[in-house]
Copies of this chain bind each other. A is one copy, B any other.
């Protein structure tokens, strides 16, 4: 194949909020196959996930990918197999896994956690309702938070891609759910489409007052996408034996200091027998098929609202990604760089 491959690489580590200048776009002929066992994939949809902000910060020696300066930006992707020497990975099949901000890429399926998407499921659905964010919400609420019928579940970033699923899974389990979001439009969508009756617009309402009013019996499970000040307010309302599920800390991602935010009231955690629990979707890989089946059933019964915020154009991937941090996205934010016929966008 004689193709020109577009790619966005890391130009420099962002200082503070991510800017377009932190990325550099170039084009180069596609490299030949690096050897047997590799698939050539064409990326269609790239998930804009807050965690990518940490991958490019390069500050945290830790348990997750670091993107070096000059590297293509890593991102969860839905992709089409274009070349393969393995019949288990047929050409034309749709896959999801870790991709990069490139049109084409030679990948090793194991290294990138790539799996086949069954026929009949679109790339959009594979990245949305059945995607990483929905699964993260599922295991966070059910396995980590152990939310039970009759308990109160508090979700931050509740109109976000992960949060909206977490709030709805809580509702389906029979929890009293309180969701926080940052605009009247998001609040309306949560109430009317997601069936979350109790919503706090943190940008327009006093969060401690509203928490006191909406959670008179306290909170049993906190599903936190935000961190920072919210985590303190939530902890102050957490009941004895409460579980705080730490999914993300988007409030602090733009801050270079790993110790951003305020110290937690540790004595409240101790005396309250409260647990704070970090987790990653990878912890539950073995249970993903079961979770997807469950989510599929609930979706079929009309119990789940989901929306994708699809933004076309390879050239504006940085702007699409940046929308996450201004909170202007509505639902799962996906950068679309090729259509289903493989036409570049």
Contact = CB atoms under 8 A, between A and B. Distances in A.
A277 B278 contact: no
A263 B260 contact: yes
B270 A279 contact: yes
Contacts of A267: 54, 60, 62, 249, 252, 258
Number of copies: 2
Contacts of A272: 62-63, 278
A275 interface: yes
B270 A278 contact: yes
Interface in A277-326: 277-280, 283
Interface in A255-280: 258-280
A154 interface: no
A283 B276 contact: no
Interface stretch (A18-26, A32-40, A240-248): A240-248
B266 A227 contact: yes
Given A261-B263, A263-B260, A263-B263, A248 B270 contact: yes
Interface of A: 54, 60, 62-64, 227, 231, 240-241, 246-249, 252, 258-280, 283
